[in-house]
Chains A and B, each alone.
Chain A
Amino acid sequence: MSSTPLIWHAGARKEASELIEQLWRTAGDAVRDRLAEVLLAGPPEDLDGDLAEPEQRQARRDRRLFDRLGLLARDKAAPLSPRLQSAQNEILQRHPEWQLREGEQARYMVWSEVRNGPDTAYSVDDLRAMEEPQLLELLLRETNRRQGLLESWRQLAGFEPERAIRLFRTLQNETAGGPPDVWQTGLWGLREAAKSQDLQDRLVELLNGVPDALFGEISFSRAVDDFLEACSTRFQGRPTQDYWRLFDRALTPAETDPDNAESPEDSKWVERAINRSIGRLATAMFNGLFAYRLRGGDGVPSDQRERLNRLLGVGQPQHRLARVIAASRLPYLFAVDPDWARATLLPCMSWDDEEEATALARIRLGAAGRAGAMGRDTVTFP
């Protein structure tokens, strides 16, 4: 059972401070006098019993009173009484370095400030105000708090996509295409803008022109995967040949991306698939197929069959996450091309390979549960 009056309890400091201030400002003399007596009497002796030295205990008692009187003293409309003022002066003589924290902070036991994103010397507005050569030079060379700089660059690319594209065109001519992290964060920033067909086409063309060396950088190729997926959510017609060419370039590094081969420890295959490079490419692929407006029995288009089979890489663990995404589209794929689905996808669900079957079956059963409409006979495992 607590024996600390709320007026002195550190855990109630915010609420108690506000009530002390209110009473001092608005209450009648009797209440103010009683309040002053309580304050001058100080906290219970045993409140600071954890401190061995009497000087330490006195200092902490002083601080408790100092903070409360300091709040009252700030209100010029209700000045401290002479006795309270005298007590405050005595404390300040013992601790001349003490100050009340500013504004509202003085009422809180702990004051915390949360800022999103890494520390940076350059805000988005700073970057926006720069001429392009200056901005490019900064992105190429700056190493101080670079992560924060790149975050500002990401935001700038989102706000001013045309400017980002112009900068990318210049960057393309740098040795090996320039720093991959500038491409990566810039492409992340353009994710939303990539949903416009015109801008998407220009970016695809631009990315098809970057040196092969850049695709050897995993951070770059993953950002391209992410970009291709973003594009695929707003196709206004069949994807262009340029889009598929970029897709094929991105697929090569994804096939060796070590993150794709790891199995999730928590069996969350779906979460893993949608957050890994090959899973993103699979999503882009199926969205691309959907844009063909295929009907039941049309079959997988001949120009996509080889690409689709390469993506799914049956039997290869590093392609499993692509097959997880494919499993989520099973009813569609089965309707469009039952022969292909029977020959390619359904055998992956065989319990001969328990891990593979678990990964693919989990997403099918999970989707069925969410839809609440899929009977157990919808998918017949071979």
Chain B
Amino acid sequence: MGTIELVEWIIDKFDTGRHLHARLRRAIRERLASEHSLAPGFELFWRIVSAEGLWNQPALPRDAWHDFVQQLPTAAHEPWLWQELQALFRPHLHLAKAYYREWRAAITSEAGNAEPIGESFRTVADATVWLEAHDQINLIVQSIDRLPNPADFLAMLADPMSELLEEALNLYAVVGQANSDGDPSIIARPSVVPHAQNHAFQEWTILFDLLWRAWRHLDATAPDQARALVRRWRERPYFAFKRLVLAAMTASDNFAPEEKLELLISV
């Protein structure tokens, strides 16, 4: 389990949609319980791939988005449809072979010896967050845009969308990339407010767009709810939410300058 070849073999299997058999998963966990010399990066990798939860793999059929798009126009106010939407946006970890090893090997002559493989997770594998609907996310958003009042629809789902964003960051926290002081949103979402600099290379950042539209609508039509939403964002444990609060309060007339300054100088 301490070899990169086995790790990459597993990643190849995951790439073809395969998953570890329940008995193999259990065997890996048993080995982890008794194996104390495994380097931390390898240990975390095996924890992730042997997990029983569905946070390390997609759970829905690839064409699950299709029926949602068909049903949305007539069922936008049905609670079951909101559940379906959340299911399609559910984040999970996607593992790929570590790019770190490749580029670090290329610059060894200038930069000295690389970090030993296994020392940290990034030397073992790359982890990104994917959403269930994956490359069909934009089709779902387009179908929402075709509703008579898409902003109403999104505002109604502001809290579930916030939960999904937090869950995406929870997954990054698993691999040590997210906390209250920083997370991948800094690079993947250069501007919380929709902007051409947001190249949307990472699909989970679409949640910022949806949340921003929900927030703007609430701020214009239901200021109390908008303030309450900001209050809840401030309680969430990741840096992305601090940026979200900064952007939201800047864009709103419903916060006093003193409140805005207090936020700016807060940690």
Contact = CB atoms under 8 A, between A and B. Distances in A.
B239 interface: yes
A6 B267 contact: yes
A33 to B, nearest CB: 10
Contacts of A370: 63
Interface in B184-231: 186-187, 190-193, 197, 199
A14 B182 contact: no
B119 interface: no
A26 interface: yes
B261 A23 contact: yes
A4 B257 contact: no
A253 to B, nearest CB: 31
A7 B12 contact: no
Interface in B45-99: 63
A3 B267 contact: yes
Given A1-B180, A11-B182, A12-B243, A6 B261 contact: no
Contacts of B263: 6, 19
Contacts of A244: none
A138 interface: no
A139 B199 CA distance: 34
B257 A15 contact: no
A15 B192 contact: yes
B16 A267 contact: yes
A30 B261 CA distance: 11
B242 A12 contact: yes
A352 B186 CA distance: 55
Nearest to B201: A114
Contacts of A108: 190-191, 197
A6 B266 contact: yes
Contact of A7 (B16, B180, B264): B264
B242 A6 contact: yes
Given A19-B249, A111-B197, A266 B15 contact: yes
A28 B249 CA distance: 17
Nearest to A111: B197
B261 A266 contact: no
Contact of B190 (A20, A22, A109): A109
Given A6-B246, A110-B187, A31 B258 contact: yes
A374 B245 CA distance: 52
Query: Size range of the interface on A?
Result: 35 or more
Interface string B226-267: 000000000000010011001101100000011011011111
Query: Size range of the interface on B?
Result: 20 to 34
A16 interface: yes
A19 B264 contact: yes
A34 interface: yes
B181 interface: yes
Contacts of A111: 197
Contact of B264 (A3, A20, A112): A20
A27 interface: yes
A117 to B, nearest CB: 16
A77 to B, nearest CB: 17
A5 B265 contact: yes
A1 B12 CA distance: 37
A306 to B, nearest CB: 37
Contacts of A31: 257-258, 261
A35 interface: yes
Contact of B267 (A5, A20, A27, A110): A5
Contacts of B180: 1-2
Interface string A35-55: 100100000000000000000
A142 interface: no
B63 to A, nearest CB: 8
B239 to A, nearest CB: 6
A137 interface: no
A354 interface: no
A112 B15 contact: no
Nearest to A105: B197
Given A110-B190, A370-B63, 10 more contacts: A2-B267, A6-B263, A15-B243, A15-B247, A18-B247, A23-B261, A31-B257, A108-B191, A110-B187, A112-B199
5 contacts: A9-B181, A14-B243, A18-B250, A23-B260, A112-B199
What are the 3 closest A-B residue pairs judged by CB atoms, nearest first? Answer: A2-B181, A15-B246, A27-B257
